[in-house]
Structure formats: C-alpha cells, structure tokens
Amino acid sequence: MRIRNPGLKAGLAAVFVTGLVLVLVPLVALLFGKVNAPTADPQSLWASFSEPHLRALLIGSIALALGVAVGAVFLGVPIGLLLASSRGRAVRVFALLHLLPLCLPPYLAALGWAGLAGRAGSLGSMLGENAGTWMSGILYSKAGFVLVMTIALTPVVSLLTWAFARSIDASAIEAARLGRPPGSVLIQIVLPLCLPGIALGGLLVFVLTLGEVAVPQLLRVPVYASTVFSRLADLSFLPFEALARAWPLVFVAVAVAAACYLVERRGHSALGLRDAGATDWLQGTQRVGAAALLVVVATLGTLPIGSLVGRGIFEVGGGVTGMAGALDSMGNSLLYATVGATCMLLIAVPAGYLWSRRPRAGYVVSLPLLVGLTLPAVVLGLGLVIAWNRPATQWIYQGIGIVLLGLMARYLYPVVRTAKLGFDRLPGTWLDAARIHQGSLWRRLVRVILPASLPIVATAWTLGFLLVLRDMDTTIIFYPPGGECLPVRALTLEANAPPGLTAATAGVQVLVTAAALLLLSGSARLQRRFR
C-alpha cells in the first residue's frame, strides 16, 4: 500500500544519509586521506576479471559462499520450523545447543574443529591414526571450510525461520489444513509465509562467508577476500587496490540481495489477529526428519565449542587466569553489544517501517548499508579510523563512539531489513485504522506498529546483539586502547597463550551469549503480552 505521507520522502532520505555517513564517508577518507599517496592504477579496477587467477579465485569464493548458504538454508529451515512448533523440553535443549555456534566468531569454532579433527586431535586420538589423517585431510580442504562455515552459520537461518514461523496467523494454517494434506500446507502456505526470513538468512550467510578471511587462512583454503585483506595488511597500505578488489564482492552481494528481493516478493504477508503459538507446522515424517537434523546439527555445532570449553576447564591454570583477564573484556563486549543493538534498533524501527511502505525506494536507500555489510572489515575499519580520527571528532574516536559507528556501519543492514520484514506483515487495514486514529507517524509507530511487530522487532534486536557480540574482525581494527571485547581478546591471546587460556576466554563468550539466547526466548513471552 502506498502511503501519501509528506514525511516519508524525508525519512527515506535520512536513512540514505545515515548509510552514506556510516559507510561511504570512511571509504572516501580511505581513498583520499592524507595518510598515503597511493598510486591509483585504474586498470586494477578490472584486475578481478582480467587476471585469470583472481577471476578463478572470485568464482571459487562465490561458489563456496553459495555452497555454505544453500547448506545453511537446507539445514536451517526445517530446524527453524521445528523450533517454532515444539515446546518439548528435549527440543528446547537441542535448540539452545544448536544456537550456540552463534556465540563465537567462526574462527574460534574452526580452532575448536582443528583441536578435534586434526591429525593429533581428540577424535583422531580416539579413532586411530588413519582416521585422524583422513579427518585432517577433510578439515584442511574446501569441503572442511564449507562444513565449518555451514555449521557455524546455520543458526542464522533457523533463527529467522523460527521468528517468521512464530508470527504466522494460526487461523490461516488451520483453514488450509481443512482441505489439504500436511505436505501441501507446508510447501504452499507455511514456507511462502516464512520466505522473507529464509531469504534474509541465506543472504546473511552468503555475505558473511564471502567476506570471511580468518577461517580460510586457518584451513588453508584460498579465497578472494584474502586478496583484498592483503592490500591493507602488514606492510601493505594500498587503499585503491583494496577497493578495486573489494567492489566485485559488493556487486555480487547486491546481485544476491536483488535475487532475495524477488524471492521475498513471492512470500505472503499474513500477520493476523491470532498468534500461531506452538502450531505444528511439521507433521509425521517431516517432524521426525527435522528432529534428526536438529540433533545432528546441534551435536556438530556443539562439538568444537565443547572442545574449547573443555580445554579451558581441564588445562591447569588456563581457566582461572583466563577468567581474571576476561572480565573486563566481557564488560566491553556486553557494553558494545547492548548499546550497539539498541542504537541499531532505534534507527531500524523507523527505517524498516519506511522501507516497508516504499519497498523499491527502500532497497535503493539501503544500498550503502548493504555495502557496509559486504565490504571486508579491513577496508571499512581503516576507513573509519582515517575518517573519524580528527581533532574535532576525538570525542567519538577516543571512546565507545567509534566502536558504535563501526558496528552500525557493518551490521545495521540486517537489523533494518529484519525490522522491515516484520513491518511487511502488518495488514494494510491496521495501518489505515492507525492513521485515522493515532495521527502522527511517531504515535503510530509507538502505539500500533511496534507492539504488533514486537516478535520480529525483538528478533532484529537480538540479531544485532548477537552479530555485535561475536564480532571480531571489525572491532579489532579500531577499538579504543584498553577497550578490547571478548572475541578480540581470544584472538590476540591465541598467539602463544596456553590453549586453555584462549579456550577459557571462548568459554566465557559462550556463556555470555547463551544468556543472550535466553533473552531471545523471552521475546515469545513479550509477544503474548503485547498482542
């Protein structure tokens, strides 16, 4: 429905300007800052296509990211539907275990896998040398990379599927079931209703995999993002070359986002008066299959974390020392995640609503934010340093401000888009009624739109919280001295600290995030309270 509201254009313009300030200003600063006088060879803009090895690397990296995204969707959708429709204790336990990989940056999970499935890993020791050699061969390969990343990121898809399935009007499903078999209802009704969430989950997994550098370095898998990273790492300071190599990644992400938009349009908007509650979306063999998937994926996801936490607890000294040093970092992590997620939500609620009302314009104005999500963290991070480290902006650069700016530049897009998808589900009749009775946009947002979309809005906040809490590669570039967060501490300690110390730090991270996941489960209660 097209709203004729004079403030709408101004609001959309504000979203666009926010994106420009957060993302494009750092890029311009990186390119034209006084730090260096980099040689800008325009031909390097096309190097990704003209140089055979770069072209092959780009295609290979896209294929790997697609593989991970498809795997995550294949596993995450049935699990998400199962979580949305079950209240059993066993399912809840496995749900928590399944979501645990969201606690850690994939790099730490990969380290956990290396401790398990390496040649001298725990599993290798148990199963014999040949098995260890075989597992090591798998782990340190493209297949291993896809496996590690898929298990680490599947919870993103299941979380979003769960949130969308929970917000479906049960009446629609019950009506459909009167005349159709369960399989048909699932494919023709339930999945289309969840499609926006599934598409967003797939997009997020794709983009996060495409930009990942640390895991492929560890598993010795050559990826395209490493070539961008190498232009701004150690002795290299080549901003133009880095951006010249980064833009194909952005282009690919925008293309995938456009594809997701087409998929999303095939979904239905169907928020109704009745909460779906624990409606059984899956029946019979579907349910058994999804439960089996949940058990397998949760077990695989928990194994590397268990390996890390186990080392932290059992290796003498590691746990205790790690805890002492990790407390400050834990405080920083929680501070960044809480304030970051809240700030993002404050922008995401109006921005998501405007995007929902003007979808095409919304996609355009949100492009800078998509660029921020897609750009390798090193490009964005160094740009932020150059852009904001000025005498006039020291009040931002010397404290938490720069961290918030960086995290918003990186993660605002998925939070806004999740909120937008929530608002998409509001029936037009509600909005018309609200416009007549509640007056201004702000009053409508606060009194009608927000309460009606609370589960998805809560999911948006939680998604932002989790993304920030596990962030490592963005924050590490500009965190204020003494202000390191837990994942950064785990990473900096990883160089030569006793494995137990790194593991204990990772263990604290797991505990903190597990508490956050309990917050998420509380969103269902909020839903019931407000609707």
Q: Which stretch binds other proteins (CB under 8 A): 85-93, 183-191, 362-370, 439-447?
A: 439-447
Among 8, 28, 35, 96, contact with other proteins (rule: CB under 8 A): 35
Is-contact 195 263, C-beta < 8 A?
Answer: yes
Examine residue 433 and tell whether it contacts other proteins (CB under 8 A). Answer: no
CB of 284 to other proteins, least distance (A): 38
**CA-based nearest residue to 414, from 380, 454, 463:** 463
**Please, which of residues 206-225 interact with other proteins by CB under 8 A?**
213-214, 217-218, 220, 222
Amino acid at 353: Y
Examine residue 349 and tell whether it contacts other proteins (CB under 8 A). Answer: yes
Q: What is the largest CA-CA distance in the chain?
A: 73
Examine residue 317 and tell whether it contacts other proteins (CB under 8 A). Answer: no
Examine residue 343 and tell whether it contacts other proteins (CB under 8 A). Answer: yes
CB of 285 or CB of 394, closer to other proteins:
394
CB of 231 or CB of 287, closer to other proteins:
231
CB of 198 or CB of 452, closer to other proteins:
452
Is-contact 274 395, C-beta < 8 A?
Answer: no
Cα 454 from Cα 167, distance rounded (Å): 10
Is-contact 459 523, C-beta < 8 A?
Answer: yes
CB of 199 to other proteins, least distance (A): 27
CB of 506 to other proteins, least distance (A): 15
Cα 523 from Cα 454, distance rounded (Å): 8
Q: Which stretch binds other proteins (CB under 8 A): 96-104, 268-276, 302-310, 488-496?
A: 488-496
Examine residue 265 and tell whether it contacts other proteins (CB under 8 A). Answer: no
CB of 291 or CB of 468, closer to other proteins:
468
Q: Cβ–Cβ contacts within 10 Å for residue 58, how many?
A: 22
Among 27, 293, 308, 454, contact with other proteins (rule: CB under 8 A): 454
Examine residue 18 and tell whether it contacts other proteins (CB under 8 A). Answer: no
Among 183, 277, 284, 399, contact with other proteins (rule: CB under 8 A): 399
Cα 402 from Cα 164, distance rounded (Å): 33
**DSSP assignment of 16-72:** HHHHIIIIIHHHHHHHH-SS------GGGGGHHHHSHHHHHHHHHHHHHHHHHHHHH
Amino acid at 342: T
Residue 247: Cβ-neighbour burial (10 angstroms; 0-12, 13-18, 19+): middle
Cα 446 from Cα 452, distance rounded (Å): 10
Examine residue 328 and tell whether it contacts other proteins (CB under 8 A). Answer: no
Binding-site size, other proteins (CB under 8 A): 81
Cα 404 from Cα 415, distance rounded (Å): 14
Examine residue 326 and tell whether it contacts other proteins (CB under 8 A). Answer: no
CB of 362 to other proteins, least distance (A): 21
CB of 99 or CB of 337, closer to other proteins:
337
Amino acid at 493: L
Q: Cβ–Cβ contacts within 10 Å for residue 442, how many?
A: 11
**DSSP assignment of 76-88:** HHHHHHHHHH---
Examine residue 335 and tell whether it contacts other proteins (CB under 8 A). Answer: yes
**Please, which of residues 495-514 interact with other proteins by CB under 8 A?**
495-499, 501
Q: Which stretch binds other proteins (CB under 8 A): 63-71, 302-310, 420-428, 478-486?
A: 478-486
Instruction: Please give the C-alpha separations between residue 18 and each of 11, 24, 347, 348, in angstroms, as whole numbers.
Output: 11, 10, 9, 11
CB of 195 or CB of 385, closer to other proteins:
385
Among 378, 431, 460, 468, contact with other proteins (rule: CB under 8 A): 378
Q: For residue 223, which phi and psi values (nearest 5 degrees)?
A: -130, 160
CB of 203 or CB of 503, closer to other proteins:
503
x/- mask, other proteins, residues 270-309, rule CB under 8 A, reads ----------------------------------------
Examine residue 346 and tell whether it contacts other proteins (CB under 8 A). Answer: yes
Structure token digits, residue 278:
């624990």
Q: Which residue has the tokens 């560890």?
A: 218
x/- mask, other proteins, residues 127-146, rule CB under 8 A, reads ---------x---x------
Examine residue 203 and tell whether it contacts other proteins (CB under 8 A). Answer: no
